[in-house]
Structure 1
Amino acid sequence: MNSSLSIFRKVAVAEGISYLLLLFVAMPLRHFLHLDLAVKYAGWAHGVLFIAYAALLVMTWQEQKWKFGKAVLIFLASLLPFMPFVVDRKLKDERALS
């Protein structure tokens, strides 16, 4: 059975990918080729994944009994490009140690 941590890590990676696609693919397509639909669909997908990230973060925080500061840092990481991948790696390493 998948724990919320396992599901959270998968969603974190998907959210990170969607953020990078939005920033480095959809936005340039919009500005240089005037393809507004790229931002519409990439933004929609990223929004759904961001909400899932936040909801799963709360669930995982409760299940794993993390300190408040750790949960806040993990949330803030979702706001920066590439950081969800760093979070995933750190959580993977933590799990391997325990």
Structure 2
Amino acid sequence: MLKLFRITAILEGISYLSLFAFTMPLKYWAGILEPNKYVGYAHGILFIAYVVVAFLFWYDRKWSIKRLLILMVASLLPFATFYVDEKYLKPSAVIS
């Protein structure tokens, strides 16, 4: 479960950054719509996967509601899933 969550968190973060750093400028500055559409779909799927896996991981580890809220807020902020991976998902950090 840990490996799945770490991979999902990293991929969701990459898709979020790709959407806003690359495909949004292409859409609005260059009029190229296709990359935004496909990266947007991928990001939507990864976002839902992150939320579901985060909830399942939280439930499995019996963590506090505070940690669940941190995991959920991280899905909304750029770079936050990388922070969650570093702070909460490293094998040594998961024990507590």
TM-score (norm 2): 0.92
* Amino acid of the structure 2 residue aligned with 1:58: F
1:9-63: CA deviations, max 9, x gaps?
Answer: 1100000000000000000000111011111001000000000001101110111
**Which aligned segments of 4 or more residues in structure 1 are displaced greater than 3 angstroms?**
none
* Superposition RMSD in Å: 1.2
Q: Which residue of 2 aligns with 1:37?
A: 34
1:1-98 matches, within 5 Å, as 4-93=1-90, 95-96=91-92, 98=95
* Stretches of structure 2 lacking an aligned partner (at least 5 in a row): none
* Amino acid of the structure 2 residue aligned with 1:63: D
**Aligned partner of residue 57 in structure 2, secondary structure:** helix
| Deviation for aligned residue 1:92 | 3.7
* Stretches of structure 1 lacking an aligned partner (at least 5 in a row): none
Query: Hey, what's the Cα distance between the residues in 2 that align with 1:72 and 1:96?
Result: 21
% identical aligned pairs:
40
1:54-74: CA deviations, max 9, x gaps?
Answer: 110111011111111111111
TM-score (norm 1): 0.90
Query: Hey, what's the Cα distance between the residues in 1 that align with 2:67 and 2:17?
Result: 24
